[in-house]
Amino acid sequence: MDESTLYELVTEALRDVLNEEQGRGDVVIARGLTNGRILFEDDKGREVRAVSTLAFFKKITAVREKLRVLEQKINNNKAMSPADKADMQAQITRCYGSLTTFNFFFREEEDKFKGMGG
């Protein structure tokens, strides 16, 4: 086993342990994106900002977790009518659909966003 593969296995194992301890799921960023970065450029091609792909991935998964909490709150809300709940759920599903753009970040297929079609 080469050094790079060993490093990735140890890193992934450590990440799994930390996520379990923190009560998080085991969503993993796609291979090759861990140490990458996203560049934002202006209309003249000048770099405005660079963001690590790992930081961006964490933001995306945080949005998903917040949407899940919102779904639970809507579903458990006694004051909302079933029609209002259905409308709010449809809006959340559309949000998930918009986030499918970022599915290439996820290593596992089951972790990817699904919209109306999925």
61 inside domain: yes
Model pLDDT for residues 86-98, shown as the tens digit of each residue: 999 999 999 999 9
Model pLDDT for residues 97-111, shown as the tens digit of each residue: 999 999 999 999 989
Whether the CB-CB separation of 68 and 75 falls below 8 Å is answered with: no
Burial-class residue 5 by CB neighbours within 10 Å (0-12, 13-18, 19+).
exposed
74 inside domain: yes
Q: What is the mean pLDDT of the chain?
A: 86
| Range in 9-13, 65-69, 112-116 with the lowest mean pLDDT | 9-13
32 inside domain: yes
Number of domains in the chain: 1
Which residue range(s) make up the domain with 16? 3-111
